[in-house]
Amino acid sequence: MEDLEKIKEICRYNRCNIIKTIHNANSGHPGGALSSVDILTVLFEKVMLNFPDWDKNPDFEKRDRFVLSKGHGSAGIYSVLAKRGYFPEEELKSFRKINSLLQGHPNTHIPGIEVPTGSLGQGLSLANGIALALKLDKNPAHVFVLLGDGELQEGSCWEAFMHAPHRGLNNVTAIIDRNNLQIDGSVDKIKDINPLNKKLEAFNWNVVEIDGHNIEEIYEALMNSKKSEKPTAIIAHTIKGKGVSFMENQCGWHGKAPSDEDCAKALQELGE
Ligand SMILES: Cc1ncc(C[n+]2csc(CCOP(=O)(O)OP(=O)(O)O)c2C)c(N)n1
């Protein structure tokens, strides 16, 4: 990938904005935003056909769609959308403030957000519905959806996993942020979802496993998924809190804002 270093730098930049945004709001979910930001950055910078200026672009209906099923990871998608020019970066300062653009969980007032999310377990069903409508309209756009691994404990996810192959929705790519932690402990101990790859294969998905922090692996898996004959599930092995040493693999950082001191330390580690 000729612009690998540039994408890595954008990932670093977006990580800094996640920390600043949550620190400024004194509220939010850093762990799962940091685990998924490499995936979201590659998706929006390199893979998706997307147009920040939808109104000005006559082909906007052909844009690829994204659904953040794990809606609490909002600081991650907001940082990525701001960098991509969907709204001014200044708006990140409005995160979680009353009546502001950037609410705690994504909603459709926000440019780049297709559906409201936050109640876990619904995003894949929403993505399936969008994908089916696109197919009926003979629209070639692709739908990407990001789910948490703890989220997969919701039964509705499995109805949706059953549905996509049945309907031949090869225009759906489900990315699972497999960071092994949920709100208060390890996913495997709270309710084991293993063997995840075999379960998804049995549900007739094209299953791919990647290192969710390796930019080239992310890019290849996402691009290949656009050409698959089956819906693709990408199990992305990640580290919750990735990039900030004291947040990594700590479920205590699932939904906690960094203090002034934590924020300064995190930004220093991220090379800000
Ligand atoms: C239906 C529903 N139940 C509970 C919650 C509260 N909640 C928010 S995040 C979370 C844990 C999610 O874990 P995971 O999907 O692994 O997310 P990640 O570790 O990637 O942040 C829970 C239970 C919710 N948002 N929706």
Residue 243 to residue 270: CA distance in whole angstroms: 7
6: how many CB neighbours lie within 10 A of its CB?
12
What is the average per-residue pLDDT within 136-165? Answer: 98
For ligand 1, is residue 149 a contact (CB within 6 Å)? yes
Q: C-alpha angle 14/16/19, rounded to 5°?
A: 110
What's residue 47's pLDDT?
Answer: 97
**Distance from the alpha carbon of residue 11 to the mean position of ligand 1, in angstroms:** 23
What is the average per-residue pLDDT within 38-63? Answer: 88
Residue 255 to residue 32: CA distance in whole angstroms: 9
Residue 69: pLDDT over 90: yes
Taking a C-beta distance cutoff of 8 angstroms, is the pair 18, 236 a contact?
no
List, for residues 73-98, the tens digit of each pLDDT value.
999 999 999 999 999 999 999 999 99
Taking a C-beta distance cutoff of 8 angstroms, is the pair 108, 114 a contact?
yes
What's residue 52's pLDDT?
Answer: 80
**Distance from the alpha carbon of residue 179 to the mean position of ligand 1, in angstroms:** 12
What is each CA distance from 145 to 112, 116, 210, in whole angstroms? 13, 13, 16
Taking a C-beta distance cutoff of 8 angstroms, is the pair 189, 149 a contact?
no
What's residue 243's pLDDT?
Answer: 98
Q: C-alpha angle 95/100/103, rounded to 5°?
A: 50
| E strands in the chain | 65-68, 143-148, 172-178, 206-211, 232-237
Q: How sure is the predictor about 51, in pLDDT bands with cuts at 50, 70 and 90?
A: confident
pTM over cut 0.85: yes
Residue 164 to residue 185: CA distance in whole angstroms: 30
In the block, residue with structure tokens 């497999």: 178
9-12 LR contacts (CB < 8 Å, sep 24+): 10/41, 10/45, 10/83, 11/37, 11/38, 11/41, 11/215, 12/243, 12/270, 12/271
For ligand 1, is residue 83 a contact (CB within 6 Å)? no
List, for residues 29-42, the tens digit of each pLDDT value.
999 999 999 999 99
Residue nearest (by alpha carbon) to ligand 1 atom 16: 150
Nearest atom (ligand 1) to Cα of 73: 21
The size of the chain, in residues, is 272
Whole-number average pLDDT of the chain: 97
Q: Percentage of the chain surpassing pLDDT 70?
A: 99
Name the 3-class secondary structure at 181: strand
What is the average per-residue pLDDT within 41-64? Answer: 87
What is each CA distance from 256 to 35, 91, 93, 240, 243, in whole angstroms? 15, 21, 17, 13, 16
For ligand 1, is residue 32 a contact (CB within 6 Å)? yes
183: how many CB neighbours lie within 10 A of its CB?
14
For ligand 1, is residue 112 a contact (CB within 6 Å)? no
Mutate which of 69, 70, 249 for ligand 1? The one with the most ligand atoms within 8 Å of its CB, which is 70
Q: How sure is the predictor about 55, in pLDDT bands with cuts at 50, 70 and 90?
A: low
Task: Reply yes or no: is the peptide bond before residue 30 cis, omega within 30 of 0.
Answer: no
For ligand 1, is residue 182 a contact (CB within 6 Å)? yes
